[in-house]
Amino acid sequence: MKIVVVGQGYVGLPLAVAAAQAGNIVVGIDNNPKRVSLLSSGVSPVEDIADSDVSSLISENTYSASTDFGLCADADVIAICVPTPLDADDAPDLSALKASVESVAKHLSPGSLVIIESTVEPGTTRDFVLPLLLAGSGLDVSQIDLAFSPERIDPANKKYTIANTPKLVAGLTDKAADRAVEFYSGFVNEVTRCSTLEVAETAKLLENSFRLINISFINEIAQMCDVMGVDVNEVISAASTKPYGFMPFFPSAGIGGHCIPIDPIYLSHKAKSVGAPSSFIDLAQKINDERPGYFVAQASALLGGLGGKKVVVVGVAYKPNVSDVRESAAEALVDGLRAAGAVVSWHDDLVGEWRGEKSVALTASFDLAILVNVHDGTDLSALGSVPVINTKGGVA
Ligand SMILES: NC(=O)c1ccc[n+]([C@@H]2O[C@H](COP(=O)([O-])OP(=O)(O)OC[C@H]3O[C@@H](n4cnc5c(N)ncnc54)[C@H](O)[C@@H]3O)[C@@H](O)[C@H]2O)c1
C-alpha cells in the first residue's frame, strides 16, 4: 500500500517506520523543512528510532520524507500525527490539525483512507475533521473513508513498542473501520475495534486522565508521607505486594510531557462544553501545578532561605532517558527557586540547551541539588557532599 504519514515527530516517525518495515511504501510529510532534510539524510530526530532504521528504509526506497502534500494523491492511507497542544487560554489548540487536514484535503483522491492519530476531544473527527476534508477536497462523503486511531507511543519504553501495544480503531463507517483494522494489523499484534469514533477518542483521554489523576494522587500521598516521616517508596512497594486492585504510581516533581498534563484538559474542556462534571481532572491538575512549589518550599526550609543560594536542578527533561523538555515540571521548579532568590543552574546529559541556557557540569560547589528526572548513566558522584532533594521521594 502507499501510505502517507503527516507529522514526523514522536508519534508519526515510529508509525512511518513500522508501516514501511511491514512492506508498505511510506512517505513521511512534515511542514518543518529542517526535519525533512535531516530525515532525508538518514538522521532520526526521535530517540526511539535509530538513524540506521531510517537510512536502510531510504536505501530500500520504502521510506522518504517530504514537505509536499501533493504526495497524498492516490495514497491508500493517510495518517495524521500532528501536535494538538493547548492555546494561551488552556483550550484545545487545533491549528496544526486544521492546517494539516486542509493541506491533505487539497490533494485527496476518492477512496483514500484518512486516519487521525492526534489526540482530540470527543466529536472532533466527525464534527471538525470531516467538514474540512469535504470542503477542501470537493469530494462527497461517500468517497471519503475516515477513521480515528489514538496513538499510544510511550517514548523510551523498551518493553512496549508499536507492535505489542494494542491499538484502538474506529471508523466513520464500517468500511473505514475495516480498512483501518486491515492497515494496522500489518504491524500491530492486536487491533481492537470501537463502535464509534467518539468511543475511541474518549478512550484515549480516559487513559491519560487516569494517569494524571493517579500520579497527582501519589504526589499528594508523598507529601503526607514526608510530613509523617514515612518513606513513600517503601509504602508503594509494600502496597504493590497486593496482587489485585492496586497499581503503583511513583512520586515526582510533577507530570510533564505533551500528553498527560494536556490530554485530560481536552476531556474536561469537552465536559464543560456539554455541562458535565470533571472535578477529578480539575483537582489533579491543581495538585500537579502545585507540586514544583512544594519542592521550592522544601529547599528553602532545608537551607534556611534561598537568597543567594547556589542550587543545581538535575534532569530537566520531562521524564528520564528522553531529551524532550515540553511541559517539564523543571520549568516551574527553576522559576520558583529563582523567584525565591536562589542562583539556579541545571544539568542534563541529554538536554544541552534549554530556554536559552546551557547545561552546567555537576560539581561539589553547590549549596543544594534537586533531582528531577535523572537519566540512566548520569553520574551524581561529582556532587560530593552537596545536600540533595530527590523529587522521586525523600531528602538525602
Ligand atoms: N509523543 C507522545 O508520547 C504522545 C503521547 C500521547 C499523545 N500524543 C499526541 O500525538 C500527537 C502528535 O504528537 P508528537 O509527540 O508526535 O508531536 P511532535 O511535535 O513530536 O511531532 C509533530 C510533527 O508534526 C509536524 N507538523 C506540525 N504541523 C504540521 C502541519 N500542519 N503539517 C505537517 N506537519 C506538521 C511538526 O513539524 C512535527 O515534526 C499529538 O496529538 C499528541 O498530543 C503524543
Q: pLDDT (tens digit, 0 to 9) for every residue of the chain, 396 residues total?
A: 999 999 999 999 999 999 999 999 999 999 999 999 999 999 999 988 999 999 999 999 999 999 999 999 999 999 999 999 999 998 999 999 999 999 999 999 999 999 999 999 999 999 999 999 999 999 999 999 999 999 999 888 889 999 999 999 999 999 999 999 999 999 999 999 999 999 999 999 999 999 999 999 999 999 999 999 999 999 999 999 999 999 999 999 999 888 899 999 999 999 999 999 999 999 999 999 999 999 999 999 999 999 999 999 999 999 999 999 999 999 999 999 999 999 999 999 999 899 999 999 999 999 999 999 999 999 999 999 999 999 998 644
Integer Cα distance of 358 and 29 in angstroms: 32
β-bridge mates for residue 27, sequence order: 4, 64
- In the numeric block, which cell numbers belong to residue 380? 551524581
Residue 147 half-sphere exposure toward CB, CA atoms < 13 A = 32
Of all protein residues, the one whose alpha carbon is nearest to atom 1 of ligand 1 is 10
97 Cα–ligand 1 center, Å: 9
Please give the positions annotated as active site. 259
96 Cα–ligand 1 center, Å: 9
Integer Cα distance of 273 and 127 in angstroms: 14
Integer Cα distance of 150 and 18 in angstroms: 16
pLDDT at 128: 98
pLDDT at 394: 62
Q: Is the CB of 259 under 6 A from ligand 1?
A: yes
pLDDT at 156: 85
Cβ atoms of residues 376 and 395 within 8 Å: no
195 Cα–ligand 1 center, Å: 26
Q: Is the CB of 31 under 6 A from ligand 1?
A: yes
pLDDT at 225: 95
- Sheet with strand 145-148: strands edge to edge: 63-66, 25-29, 2-6, 77-80, 113-116, 145-148, 167-171, 191-193
Of all protein residues, the one whose alpha carbon is nearest to atom 7 of ligand 1 is 259
Q: Is the CB of 124 under 6 A from ligand 1?
A: no
Q: Is the CB of 327 under 6 A from ligand 1?
A: no
Cβ atoms of residues 17 and 52 within 8 Å: no
Torsions phi, psi for 354 (to 5 deg)? -155, 130
Q: Is the CB of 155 under 6 A from ligand 1?
A: yes
Q: Is the CB of 372 under 6 A from ligand 1?
A: no
Integer Cα distance of 195 and 174 in angstroms: 9
Integer Cα distance of 7 and 31 in angstroms: 8
Cβ atoms of residues 25 and 191 within 8 Å: no
Integer Cα distance of 318 and 303 in angstroms: 26
pLDDT at 155: 86
Closest by CA position to 309, among listed 360, 365, 383, 392: 365
Of all protein residues, the one whose alpha carbon is nearest to atom 11 of ligand 1 is 118
pLDDT at 396: 44
288 Cα–ligand 1 center, Å: 23
216 Cα–ligand 1 center, Å: 25
Whole-model pTM? 0.93
Q: How many Cβ atoms from other residues are within 10 Å of residue 348's Cβ?
A: 25
Q: Indicate the length of the chain as a whole number.
A: 396
Q: Is the CB of 160 under 6 A from ligand 1?
A: no
